[in-house]
C-alpha cells in the first residue's frame, strides 16, 4: 500500500489516494490530503463540508448522497466544486478521510 507523506504526516493511502485506514484521520491529516487536491488552506466552508461528511460516514458507513450533502450544508454543487476541485466524491470525501465511494456512483 503506498504511503503518503506531508510534513510530519505519514499515512497509508490506496491507489486513488484515499486513506487506507479512515480511523487515523485528524485535522492535520485533512490538511495533508487537501494538499493533494491543490487546496492550500481549509476555510470554514471546507470544514462545514468535511464535518458533515464525517458525521454521516460515522453513522452510516458510506458517503452521503451528493444532493443531501448540498442540502444539509447549503452549498450548491458548483460551490462544492469550487471548494474541492475534483468534486464531492473524489475531492471532498478524500479530504474528509472517507474510503473511496464504490459502485456506479
**Residue ranges binding other proteins (CB under 8 A):** 2-3, 14-16, 60-63, 65-68, 71, 76-78, 87, 90, 101-105
What does the alpha-carbon distance between residue 61 and residue 29 come to, in Å, rounded to a whole number?
20
Catalytic residue among 3, 44, 104, 105: 104
**Among residues 14 and 27, whose Cβ is nearest to other proteins?**
14
What does the alpha-carbon distance between residue 34 and residue 39 come to, in Å, rounded to a whole number?
5
Share of the chain residues as helix, strand and coil, in percent rounded to the nearest 5:
50, 10, 40
Least distance in Å: CB of 105 to other proteins? 5
Least distance in Å: CB of 78 to other proteins? 8
**Among residues 45 and 86, whose Cβ is nearest to other proteins?**
86
What does the alpha-carbon distance between residue 37 and residue 46 come to, in Å, rounded to a whole number?
13
Q: What angle do CA 13, 15, 16 make, to 5 degrees?
A: 85
**Among residues 5 and 8, whose Cβ is nearest to other proteins?**
5
| CB distance 70 to 59 below 8 Å | no
Least distance in Å: CB of 27 to other proteins? 25
Catalytic annotation present for 104: yes
Q: Which residues are catalytic?
A: 104
Amino acid at each position: 500500500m503506498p504511503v503518503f507523506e506531508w510534513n510530519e504526516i505519514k499515512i497509508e493511502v490506496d491507489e486513488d489516494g484515499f486513506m487506507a485506514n479512515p480511523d487515523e484521520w485528524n485535522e492535520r491529516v485533512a490538511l495533508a490530503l487537501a494538499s493533494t487536491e491543490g487546496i492550500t488552506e481549509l476555510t470554514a466552508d471546507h470544514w462545514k463540508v468535511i464535518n458533515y461528511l464525517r458525521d454521516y460516514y460515522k453513522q452510516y458507513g458510506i458517503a452521503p448522497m451528493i444532493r443531501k450533502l448540498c442540502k444539509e450544508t447549503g452549498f450548491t454543487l458548483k460551490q462544492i466544486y469550487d471548494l474541492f476541485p475534483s468534486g464531492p466524491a473524489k475531492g471532498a470525501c478524500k479530504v474528509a478521510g472517507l474510503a473511496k465511494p464504490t459502485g456506479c456512483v
